[in-house]
Amino acid sequence: MSELWEGIAQAFWLVVTLDSDLVEITLRSLRVTLTALVVASLIALPLAAVLAVRRFRLRRATIAVLNALMGLPPVVVGLVVYILLSRSGPFGVFGLLFTPTAMIIAQVIIIVPLIASIAHQSLRELWSDYHDLLISLHTTQAQRIKTLLWDGRRALLTAALAGFGRAIGEVGAIMVVGGNIDHHTRVLTTAIALETGKGAFALALGLGFVLIGLAVAVNLCIHWLGQTERTGRW
């Protein structure tokens, strides 16, 4: 129990003194996760809209696969990305292994199915509401997708936040492909794993509290920015 209080005190102290290591690790965590979130959203949201609007032969199979991939084990993703990016792998020539870019790639692979599946559920309901109107207005597929993405933006924000939550707390894959290199690929989660391994529980807890605070702050921030309706006005 004393370690918990010590952790809280240490977290408080790290934040108040703007510890340079903490700031560096936190900013790297944010940069990697937010970049992965943007890239994943650019892939997942249009994919979700296409799955809601279009009827094609492998649609059901695609949805089933996406749903199944929500539970993708991060370590396995890390392993596959590692093999692909390693010197002997097909993308080894780019020299991306043990860089933040490799961590972003792994996170994108992990959160695309999650964002796409949640977004698809929302957009499918919206499409069933809008179907008759958009058909009667003789809209093109592109116009339908654009309309659904715009009008469903609040629900899509929730999908994106779920992706952010998964990515910011992810440790297995980024440990494998990032290598937890100090001042290069170390992020909050890998730093926590390292400090725990070293037995520095107070510091690990302190970093943990910072991570939780960061996740909550970013969630609140995105919610506030994405608020489309304020006091009943749009």
Partner 1 sequence: MTLLPLIAKGATLRRRGKVLIGPVDLRLEGQGITAVIGPNGAGKTSLLKMLHGIVRLNGGSVTWNCPMAEAQERQAFVFQQPVMMRRSVLDNVAYPLRLIGVSRGEARARAMDWVERIGLSAAAERSATVLSGGERQKLALARALIRKPEVLFLDEPCASLDGRATREIEALLQEAAADGTRLVMSTHNLGQATRLATEIILVARGQIQEHQPAAAFFAGPNTDEGRAFLRGDIIE
Q: How far is CA 60 from CA 67, 102, 116, 173, in A?
A: 11, 31, 14, 29
Q: How many chain residues interact with partner 1 (CB under 8 A)?
A: 18
Report helix, strand or coil for 112. Answer: helix
Which residue, 197 or 229, has its beta carbon nearer to partner 1? 229
Write down the least CB distance from residue 137 to partner 1, Å: 6
Write down the least CB distance from residue 57 to partner 1, Å: 19
Which residue, 6 or 151, has its beta carbon nearer to partner 1? 151
Short-list 70, 79, 72, CA closest to 113: 70
Write down the least CB distance from residue 161 to partner 1, Å: 19
Write down the least CB distance from residue 191 to partner 1, Å: 42
Which residue, 17 or 228, has its beta carbon nearer to partner 1? 228
- Find all residues with CB under 8 Å of 175, minimum gap 6, and list them: 78, 189, 190, 193
Report helix, strand or coil for 115. Answer: helix
In sequence order, which ranges of the chain are alpha helices (DSSP H)? 2-16, 20-53, 59-69, 74-85, 100-136, 141-151, 153-168, 172-178, 188-198, 201-225
- Find all residues with CB under 8 Å of 135, minimum gap 6, and list them: none
Q: Which of residues 111-150 bind partner 1 (CB under 8 A)?
A: 126, 129-130, 132-133, 135-139, 143, 147
Which residue, 2 or 136, has its beta carbon nearer to partner 1? 136
Which residue, 17 or 227, has its beta carbon nearer to partner 1? 227
Write down the least CB distance from residue 134 to partner 1, Å: 8
Which residue, 32 or 119, has its beta carbon nearer to partner 1? 119
Residue labelled with tokens 């900013």: 27
Structure tokens at 224: 């506030």
Write down the least CB distance from residue 152 to partner 1, Å: 7
Contact between 226 and partner 1 per CB under 8 A: no
- Find all residues with CB under 8 Å of 89, minimum gap 6, and list them: 83
Q: Which of residues 149-188 bind partner 1 (CB under 8 A)?
A: 151-152
Residues that bind partner 1 (CB under 8 A): 126, 129-130, 132-133, 135-139, 143, 147, 151-152, 229, 232-234
